[in-house]
Amino acid sequence: MITVQTHHGFYCVKFEPFERSDFFTITDAHVAKLYPNLRVDLILEPGESSKDFVHYQQVIAALADARVQRKSTVVALGGGVIGDLVGFAAATYMRGIRFIQVPTTLLAQVDSSVGGKVGIDLPQGKNLVGAFYPPCEVIVDTRFIQSLPLREFRCGLAEVLKYGLILDQELWNQLIASPLTALSTELSSVIERCIRLKADVVESDEFETKGERAKLNFGHTVGHAIEVRTGYEKYTHGEAISLGMVAESWIAEKMGIAKRGLSEAIQTGLVQNGLPVRGLLGGNPSDLVQSMKLDKKSENGTLVMSLVTDIGTCELVKDVPESVVVEVLSEMSDDAGM
């Protein structure tokens, strides 16, 4: 059972009780530089390129060299990359040791730290190696958000907006009427709201076997393919997901699942929040489709997507026509045919 305790902008998302023990803290160079007084045992290079087997081996070796025991607790202090990588190391070191997530980015606070998905990337696709391994606690301190560059804050906004689009029309309307900033008085309440929305979905389908949890992936089928095809360098995760949400809402319209004008409304809201709605997507749309077929929702080589049917509602759709996907990507891409 997930509980969320609130203390004036400080949230503790508890998954299970545990005894306090010795801690091994891992972060990246960005966080270590911003908070030099924090005790850290291992500092990794920042960025998606660290979420691979080489850095996974580095983490495992560091745990072994420090003689971390099964009753020890690993602390993942950082954004989504650190949380995913360290969580996967915790899931596999000595067949599983406890770990705590302390997310320092808006994206990690509202999304990747809650839900228990951990893993690393392969050259062929994102998060293709991993596990369901929930932390004992997620400790969210909104003061970390104030140190984020504007682009990284907007990266997290993409996931916040996603919750509004798939689950909470009122939240979407609120964010469109008054775009969120790092200094907004309602920031803490929005973060808590997103945590609760995700926690409710995760509790109903923890291991993604019923199709409910997969709905959280709106924008991610296309977005992850864009990240892979652009080498994780052109866009932040949130920017790629923004492009993915535009594409997938347009696909829903062309399939007759969503009402006409939905994609345009979504684009307007994303632009208001400083997020991209078209651009260089990474080459030929047909190549992007091939990357999408490695998506974990894909079944027998067919495309499966979470598609918004109206603001605040979505459904998991199987056998999405490749021709429709290629058509949409061709129309919104600045590099189709390259």
Do 160 and 65 have their domain in common? Answer: no
Query: Per the structure block, which two tokens stand in for 225?
Result: 């393919």
> Is the C-alpha dihedral spanning 140, 141, 145, 148 positive or negative?
negative
Report helix, strand or coil for 310: strand
Do 139 and 163 have their domain in common? Answer: no
* Domain stop point among 99, 119, 147: 147
Identify the band that residue 334 occupies on the pLDDT scale cut at 50, 70 and 90. Answer: confident
Dihedral angle, C-alpha 31, 3, 312, 328, nearest 10 °: 40
What residues have CB less than 8 Å from 23, skipping those under 6 apart? 72, 73, 74, 75, 100
143 found inside a domain: yes
> Distance between alpha carbon 57 and the CA centroid of its chain, in Å?
23
Backbone φ and ψ of 126, nearest 5°: -90, 140
Do 168 and 218 have their domain in common? Answer: yes
pLDDT tens digit string along 234-291?
Answer: 999 999 999 999 999 999 999 999 999 999 999 999 999 999 999 989 889 999 999 9
How many separate domains does the chain show? Answer: 2
**In angstroms, rounded to a whole number, what is the distance separating the alpha carbons of residues 292 and 146?**
35
Tell me which residue of 77, 150, 142 sits closest to 110, measured CA to CA.
Answer: 142
337 found inside a domain: no
The answer to whether the beta carbons of residues 327 and 184 sit under 8 Å apart is: no
Share of the chain above pLDDT 70, in %: 93
7 found inside a domain: yes
338 found inside a domain: no
Do 191 and 321 have their domain in common? Answer: yes
Q: What is the pLDDT of residue 14?
A: 53
Read off the pLDDT of each residue in 72-90 and give the average, rounded to a whole number: 97
* Domain boundaries, position 191: 150-332
What would you report as the CA-atom Rg of the chain, rounded to the nearest whole angstrom?
A: 19
What residues have CB less than 8 Å from 58, skipping those under 6 apart? 42, 44
Dihedral angle, C-alpha 304, 163, 213, 118, nearest 10 °: 100
**In angstroms, rounded to a whole number, what is the distance separating the alpha carbons of residues 198 and 252?**
23
Read off the pLDDT of each residue in 70-84 and give the average, rounded to a whole number: 96
Question: What number of residues does the chain have?
Answer: 338
Active site members: 95, 117, 159, 198, 208, 213, 217, 220, 224, 237
Do 194 and 296 have their domain in common? Answer: yes
Do 243 and 286 have their domain in common? Answer: yes
> Distance between alpha carbon 238 and the CA centroid of its chain, in Å?
8
The answer to whether the beta carbons of residues 124 and 139 sit under 8 Å apart is: no
pLDDT tens digit string along 204-240?
Answer: 999 999 999 999 999 999 999 999 999 999 999 999 9
CATH number at residue 62: 3.40.50.1970
Do 118 and 226 have their domain in common? Answer: no
Decide if pLDDT at 8 tops 80: no
* Domain stop point among 147, 174, 194: 147
Decide if pLDDT at 6 tops 60: no
Do 59 and 189 have their domain in common? Answer: no
Do 35 and 121 have their domain in common? Answer: yes
- Burial (0-12, 13-18, 19+ Cβ within 10 Å), 101: buried
pLDDT tens digit string along 170-213?
Answer: 999 999 999 999 999 999 999 999 999 998 999 899 999 999 99
Do 55 and 101 have their domain in common? Answer: yes
Q: What is the pLDDT of residue 7?
A: 42
285 found inside a domain: yes
Do 131 and 154 have their domain in common? Answer: no
Strand partners, 211: none
The answer to whether the beta carbons of residues 85 and 59 sit under 8 Å apart is: yes
Read off the pLDDT of each residue in 306-331 and give the average, rounded to a whole number: 97
**In angstroms, rounded to a whole number, what is the distance separating the alpha carbons of residues 118 and 131?**
6
CATH number at residue 267: 1.20.1090.10
213 found inside a domain: yes
* Domain stop point among 128, 147, 166: 147
Do 172 and 245 have their domain in common? Answer: yes
41 found inside a domain: yes
